[in-house]
A and B are shown apart, each in its own frame.
Chain A
Amino acid sequence: MKMFVCIKYVPDTSEAEVKVNPDGVSVDSSRFSFDINDADNYAVEESVLMKEASEGDVTVLSIGPKQSDVMIRMAMAKGCDRAVRIEDERIAGYDPLMVAKVLAGAIKGQEFDLVLTGCMASDDWQMSTGVALAEELGVNHASMVKKVEVLGGNKVKAYRELEGGLMEVVEVELPAVLTIQTGINEPRYAPIRGIREAQKKELKVASLDDLGLDASAVSAEASMVVLERLYIPDVVSSAEFIEGEPDEKAEKLASILVKGGLV
């Protein structure tokens, strides 16, 4: 099984205060900690598990700054074989279609069975890159995958997590892109000795020119997305505490819901 796993270096915004820069279209990231996107971490683990289960080879792909090398080395410490980090300021990174074009450009021309990536990124939550990547590569895809079984005859069975606890099971002919949902496995720890050992593995840094890609096709000019303004939603406080005996409370609640057109 020859695999690519696409990963993204994202800020942890769960606790840090998010501040929009004066330009209005970027966020002050100086106080954030950065790490691998959560769902991508599961994709890395799944690729390594598949490699361990049968012969395999995994290449890590990422678009990001030099600081993200540590995240890439961790993936290689876990078992990925090599990596390509694409760094080029011209890429319109806020547009998943442009990102998909760049990733596809780095993969095209190479043999592969599977491309795995997280089903969504925890910075912009667009959930589009993986699917767009399949389109760019002209291969099948399954999204929100919570379980994968390798079948004979060049196929995998993918279990897709749907709403309401439903699981859709599809057979996908390879090559294919699978976008991985969190919880598919339990990502392992990358020990320091493993990370040091992974220094021996190849981590190639490439620009758009190195990949032979036309920058004008993946830059802001080519993107149909225009980022106009980022803003912090207004904090509104309108909590109402319903008082009284349980039956009174229920009645009041029901009346509020009906009045609000919610039931």
Chain B
Amino acid sequence: MSIESQTFTERYDLLGCIQCGRCTGGCPVTVRADLNVRRFVYDAYNEEKLEELARLAEIWDCTACHTCAVRCPKGLKPLEVLLGLRTMIVESGKVEPTVRDALQSVLLEGNPWEKARAARSDWMEGLDVKIAEPGVPVENLFFVCCTIAYDPRVQTIAKNLVRILNKAGIDYAFLDDSESCCGSEVYTLGEEGLFEMLVEDNTAFLNEFSATRLITLSPHCFTTYRKQYPDLKMPVLHYTQLLEELLREGKLTWKGDLQKKIVFHDPCYLGKQGDVYDEPRQLLKSIPGVELLEFDRRRERSLCCEGGGGKMWVESTSKKERLAETRIKDAKELNADIVAVACPFCVLTLEDAMKGLGYEEEMRVAEIMELLGEFVEA
């Protein structure tokens, strides 16, 4: 365990905490797990307790949704204390096999899904995709994301986007299979060394492309590139921001209509962490026939789906209702036909919850890009 306690207190500004409890009060995970982040911030000041704290199972319950950081009146990031404790465990090597395999896969193959790097751009087969070349200027450089690149359920996001971009006739290019993980989940799983390596390698790699801006498909890549890549030479956007721009410019045209009630679920990494709330809603509202509903818990109060914070590789010990199930039940109460999201992790967690609850016949979980792909004239 290599983190010195001195560094720990300074690093997370533990003395800055006034123990007001707004972090724990807003933490969505507390309803189903025994996690009290305020308590961790308090206890972590005691250097002798660090190793004991790091061994507590609940440090892995945090989904890194950042609600605690959004609510902290002192501008601290309580969740980072938990990530620091995770780092102690990761550096001892004694992590869950699923976490071990995901991290090792990022090192060896550039993705956490244990897939071969050579297969990263297989999703492009049959599509007319423009590929970026180093040094060749391009306005919109696209970063696909490991999950979207490999998981057939969410590959549609990238496929539909390509069709729309080709139709809109804008200057764009995608990266080929040399694209590597942004490190969002590596960071939240506590593998700091690997994350630092990814930041260094990806910064050098992406800066080689003369791109005006980097467009990410996943909010996790979006927030990570925006906030944790200080030397990246280009601004970073989420694809919903670009499409909303195209919408305003009249470059998206619709075929048919969608007579459905849609409720939009704000992904934590897009909303709370990226301040992007309106663009996805504008896109949905623009589809003819759509009635846009709103959750009570929306925008910065949106309920986390528990897909982030490395939770794709760590099962919670809690048997209580998953937050994704709570979310789907909320949507059901609103009589929504479609729960629209703008994040691959949200698709996977919410869809699982919907199927688990047996609502498949009456409801659908869809990424915005899936819907646009069906209704944009492309």
Chain B positions 1 through 39: 1 when the CB is less than 8 Å from some CB of chain A, otherwise 0: 010000000000000000000000000000000000000
CB neighbours (8 Å) of A30 from chain B are 118
B71-79, B86-94, B132-140, B240-248: which lies at the interface? B86-94
Q: Are A188 and B93 in contact (CB under 8 A)?
A: yes
CB distance from B11 to the nearest CB of A (A): 16
Q: Chain B: interface residue count, which band? A: 20 to 34
Q: In the assembly, what is the distance between CA of A2 and CA of B119, in Å? A: 42
CB neighbours (8 Å) of A189 from chain B are 90, 93-95, 99-100, 103-104
Known: A188-B100, A189-B99. A12 touches B116 (CB 8 A): yes
B97 CB within 8 Å of chain A: yes
Chain A positions 172 through 197: 1 when the CB is less than 8 Å from some CB of chain B, otherwise 0: 00000000000000111111111010
Chain A positions 89 through 132: 1 when the CB is less than 8 Å from some CB of chain B, otherwise 0: 00000000000000000000000000000000000000000000
B123-131, B151-159, B190-198: which lies at the interface? B190-198
B108 CB within 8 Å of chain A: yes
Within 8 A of B (CB), among A185-223: 186-194, 196
Q: Are B108 and A190 in contact (CB under 8 A)?
A: no
Q: Are B100 and A193 in contact (CB under 8 A)?
A: no
Q: In the assembly, what is the distance between CA of A35 and CA of B116, in Å? A: 11
Q: In the assembly, what is the distance between CA of A78 and CA of B94, in Å? A: 11
Known: A32-B116, A35-B108. A192 touches B193 (CB 8 A): yes
Q: Are B91 and A70 in contact (CB under 8 A)?
A: no
Q: How many residues of A contact B (CB 8 A)?
A: 22
CB distance from B370 to the nearest CB of A (A): 25
The residue on B at minimum CB distance from A14 is: B114
Q: Are B91 and A16 in contact (CB under 8 A)?
A: no
Q: Are B193 and A33 in contact (CB under 8 A)?
A: no
CB neighbours (8 Å) of B118 from chain A are 16, 30-33
Q: Are A191 and B91 in contact (CB under 8 A)?
A: yes
Q: Are A33 and B194 in contact (CB under 8 A)?
A: no
Q: In the assembly, what is the distance between CA of A187 and CA of B194, in Å? A: 19
Q: Are B115 and A33 in contact (CB under 8 A)?
A: yes
Q: Are A193 and B117 in contact (CB under 8 A)?
A: no
Q: In the assembly, what is the distance between CA of A32 and CA of B117, in Å? A: 8
Q: Are B104 and A190 in contact (CB under 8 A)?
A: yes
Known: A30-B118, A33-B108. A192 touches B194 (CB 8 A): yes
Q: In the assembly, what is the distance between CA of A154 and CA of B91, in Å? A: 34
Interface centre among A31, A32, A34, A78 (most CB of B within 10 A): A31
CB neighbours (8 Å) of A33 from chain B are 108-109, 114-118
Q: In the assembly, what is the distance between CA of A15 and CA of B115, in Å? A: 8
The residue on A at minimum CB distance from B100 is: A189
Q: In the assembly, what is the distance between CA of A186 and CA of B115, in Å? A: 22
Known: A15-B115, A33-B115. A192 touches B191 (CB 8 A): yes
Q: Are B104 and A16 in contact (CB under 8 A)?
A: no
Out of A31, A74, A191, which one reaches B194, CB within 8 Å?
Answer: A191
Q: In the assembly, what is the distance between CA of A122 and CA of B92, in Å? A: 28
Q: In the assembly, what is the distance between CA of A74 and CA of B193, in Å? A: 14
CB neighbours (8 Å) of A16 from chain B are 116, 118-119
B107 CB within 8 Å of chain A: yes
Q: In the assembly, what is the distance between CA of A12 and CA of B2, in Å? A: 33
CB distance from A176 to the nearest CB of B (A): 27
Q: Are B109 and A193 in contact (CB under 8 A)?
A: no
CB neighbours (8 Å) of B99 from chain A are 189
CB distance from A60 to the nearest CB of B (A): 16
Q: In the assembly, what is the distance between CA of A194 and CA of B99, in Å? A: 17
Q: In the assembly, what is the distance between CA of A61 and CA of B66, in Å? A: 46
Q: In the assembly, what is the distance between CA of A16 and CA of B115, in Å? A: 9
CB neighbours (8 Å) of A194 from chain B are 91, 93
What are 10 A-B contacts defined by CB distance under 8 Å?
Answer: A12-B114, A31-B116, A31-B118, A31-B119, A70-B108, A186-B97, A187-B97, A188-B100, A189-B93, A189-B100
Known: A31-B119, A32-B118, A189-B90. 19 other contacts (CB 8 A): A12-B114, A16-B116, A16-B118, A16-B119, A31-B116, A33-B109, A33-B114, A33-B118, A35-B104, A188-B94, A188-B100, A189-B94, A189-B95, A189-B104, A190-B93, A191-B93, A192-B193, A192-B196, A194-B93
